[in-house]
Amino acid sequence: MHKKLFLAPAVIAVAALLAGCSGGGSTAGGDGEPVTITYGIWAGTQTPAMQEIAAAFEKENPNIKVKVVESPWPEFWSTLQTGAAGGTAPDAFWMLAQQIRPYAEGGQLLDISDAIESEGVDLSNYPQAVLDLYDQGDGKIYGLPKDVDTNAVWFNKALFDAAGVEYPADDWTWEDFRSTAKALTDADAGVYGVAAPIDYQSGYYNTIFQAGGQVISDDGKTSLIDSPEAQAGIKFWTDLQADGSSPTLQQLSDTEAETMFEQGKVAMYMSGAYWALKIYDNKEISADVDIAPLPTGKKQATVSSGITNVGYIGTKHPEETKKFLLFASGEEAAKIQAKNGAVLPAFKGTEATWMAAMPEFANLQVFVDALEYSVPLPVQGNAAEWQGLQAEYLTGAWTGEESVADATKKYAAAIDEVLAG
């Protein structure tokens, strides 16, 4: 009796193990048989729009079910990596330009160029800068962008009014930006003119390009972050820190810049269009928020990127997945994203719908106009790795313990090492 009782869990465990091993083969989707594909995204304000896109696709394709799977931001990448290596990655998922390289090189992504051709997709509907970002130079197309982002300055009108400072003009300069930030700062009240974290995409890359510099050389082999122009672009930020116009890096580590902006502790926050919906939904502050273009250095510039929908090479349903990928980056999906205000869609001609979704933000057009002077986000090599080194090398420049020249020289050497890789 006792023996049998002990054995029961053992038998169950063995059965479960065997079942686990044989589970893989049972989902072959034949003709007319409904199949399910998964769509991996990271959690955020876009989830409702993605679910709506999945539903719209299911309506058009009754035989294909789409399951949206969301995971928190940092886990998204580690799960995707292990999932791709282990054969369990989602069939379709979001990809970022700074992450795509290892996946493409490792042969983990579905080439959808045949589907693009057979469906007659017109690539001119998508911003060329974003398409270029994902071009791996291997003649394949791994996906089409679902959205595009540019940067602008989010600002809090109430804090400007309280300090008696004029709102930014469309043609403001770096000097204007710096003096405005200084004038807005009231350290005793815990209010800062600007948030100046070490942030590449919504921060110093923009000013590096505005100063006429580059982050990486055109051939993608060396870093130019220690060039005089790039150093000027970084000094833009270290000056703001030196002026005391920004919370310190420690404060910004404890409370992220975007949160500080929403809390009304920071008057200006340079960042992307992707915050629009989150800030808009925060009714405590949204009425006070407005948008200005980035200040102009030697020239106008903003880095631009976008999320691309890609497919997993290991999918059991490649045709269905390709179909969904084209849909999810297509016009109808773009309109769904726009209508929800989720994000600025990449598909041309849907910008107005996005702006109309948030009528109280009168100046969202700034983000659309910025596309004209946008440059592709620098993502050469294993970009996630060398970008991840920024805090290690640049913190000293931000805190003033090291000169911008020294810090960027060391950082450039470290980037070169990664690029040589």
Q: In the complex, which residues of this chain contact another protein (CB under 8 A)?
A: 3, 6-7, 9-10, 13-14, 17, 74, 77-78, 81, 84-85, 102-103, 105-108, 190, 197-199, 249-256, 382, 384-385, 388, 390-392, 395, 399
Q: Rank residues 85 and 362 by Cβ distance to another protein and give the closer one.
A: 85
DSSP string, 56-119: HHHHH-TTEEEEEEEE-HHHHHHHHHHHHHHT-S-SEEEE-HHHHHHHHHTT-B---HHHHHHT
Nearer to another protein, 71 or 353 (CB): 71
* 166-184 per-residue burial string, b: 16 or more CB within 10 A, e: under 16: eebeeebebeebbbbbbbb
At residue 268, the 3 state secondary structure works out as strand
Q: Which is nearer to another protein, 99 or 337 (by Cβ)?
A: 99
d(CA 142, CA 165): 48
Q: Please state the closest distance from residue 372 (CB atom) to another protein, in A.
A: 30
Q: How far is the CB of 246 from another protein (least distance, A)?
A: 13
Smallest gap from residue 182 Cβ to another protein (A):
21
| Shortest CB 199 distance to another protein, Å | 7
CB of 191 to another protein, least distance (A): 12
Task: Tell me whether residue 109 or residue 279 sits nearer to another protein (CB atom).
Answer: 109
Q: What does the alpha-carbon distance between residue 76 and residue 72 come to, in Å, rounded to a whole number?
A: 6
Which is nearer to another protein, 29 or 264 (by Cβ)?
264
Which helix (DSSP H) or strand (DSSP E) does residue 30 occupy? none
Query: Which residues, listed in sequence order, are joined to residue 311 by a DSSP beta bridge?
Result: 92
Q: List, as one string, the DSSP characters of 176-204.
A: HHHHHHHHH-BGGGTBEEE-----IIIII
Question: Measured from the CB of residue 355, what is the shortest distance to another protein in angstroms?
Answer: 30
Contact of 387 with 415, CB cutoff 8 Å: no
Between residues 330 and 381, which has the closer beta carbon with respect to another protein? 381
State in angstroms the smallest separation of the CB of 260 from another protein: 9
Cβ nearer to another protein, comparing 26 with 250: 250
**Residue of 310, 32, 266, 30 whose CA lies nearest to 155:** 266
